[in-house]
Structure 1
Amino acid sequence: MKENSIIIGFHAHVYYDLETRDVAAQIREGLGARFEVQLGRWHDQPIGPHPKSMYQVAFAPNQFPQVVPWLMLNREGLDILVHPETGDDVTDHTAHALWLGNKLELNIQVLQRIRPNAS
């Protein structure tokens, strides 16, 4: 088993649709007001491996104990993917993923095509 214990950051992907975009905006506002996070752009169409509209929230490892519990309690029924950044996008989005709400089917083939060659 290959051990990888270096996490350089985390991403949370907050998924929404047309009916829940306002709820997603409230969550985004709450995150930005409470935590030192980087709020990514709104993607109103599926992008990359993500099957529906979403925005990304990037945060440092030391923020995990504050950000993730807040998302657990304040996700308002939205589905959220939380994953580490280890340099292996495929594994980070699959084996290392944490889901709040429903686990959505990601298009992992997109990540496999851009995966760096293992040396």
Structure 2
Amino acid sequence: MASSFDTDEIKEFHFHTYFLHTNKDSTSEAEVFHSKVRAAIESGVFVARCGTINYGPRGPHMIGNFYCWVPVESFQKAYNFYLLNRGNLIVLVHPLTKLEVKDHTERAVWMGSTPLPLDMVWLKAELMETPFEYPELQLGYSSVPKQ
């Protein structure tokens, strides 16, 4: 009997780091970790783009958070860095595809605690196009084939 499975290649991911924005210790830990992530990126530990800290809910994320965009070329190094350095912070890792709801649920991986609730009203079941980011880096969905 033949099996049915998806063979699409995921080429970009988001790493969302969460913290309790009303708790000064949790906020401080997130700020320190955010600085570590930015320093790792700047020193070439892995390639990524790190957003600013959101000191409250934003989009589907119901508590304080920040995200990093990571192309598939840096996924292993970024994942390793997060596992070793996130401390007590909870991190959601999800792919970027046209299926936003599925990416944030069935395809998501959580570091730390049990999954946190997300406000899914912000997400679409299916986008018209794959949401690739930072095409100027020529990584992820924007990668240039090697010759």
Pairwise TM-score range, normalised by the shorter structure: 0.7 to 0.9
Structure 1 residue 47: deviation in Å? 1.3
Identical positions, percent: 28
1:61 aligns with: 72
Instruction: Report which of the two structures shows the higher radius of gyration computed on alpha carbons.
Output: 2
Structure with the larger strand share: 1
2:121 match: 109
Q: Could you tell me which amino acid in structure 2 is paired with residue 66 of structure 1?
A: K
Q: CA deviation at 1:2?
A: 6.5
Once the two structures are TM-superposed, the CA of residue 3 in structure 1 deviates from its matched residue by: 2.0
In the alignment, which residue of structure 2 is the partner of 1:17? 20
Structure 2 portions without partners, runs of 5+: 41-45, 129-147
Greater than 3 Å deviation, 4+ residue runs: 114-117
Partner of 1:3: 6
Letter in 2 for 1:111: L
Q: Does 1:70 align with 2:76?
A: no
Which is bigger in relative contact order (C-alpha 8 A, separation at least 6)? 1
For structure 1, the residue ranges without an aligned partner over 5 or more in a row are: none
For the residue of structure 2 that corresponds to 1:82, the secondary structure is strand
Residue aligned with 1:22, SS = helix
- Give TM-score, length-normalised by structure 2: 0.71
CA distance, structure 1, for counterparts of residue 7 and residue 101 of structure 2 = 14
> Does the CA-based 8 Å contact 1:11-1:85 persist in structure 2?
yes
AA partner of residue 48 (structure 2): V
Give me the CA root mean square deviation. Answer: 1.8
Q: Structure 2: how far apart are the matches of 1:42 and 1:36?
A: 19
Query: How many equivalent pairs are there?
Result: 116
When normalised by structure 1's length, the TM-score is 0.86
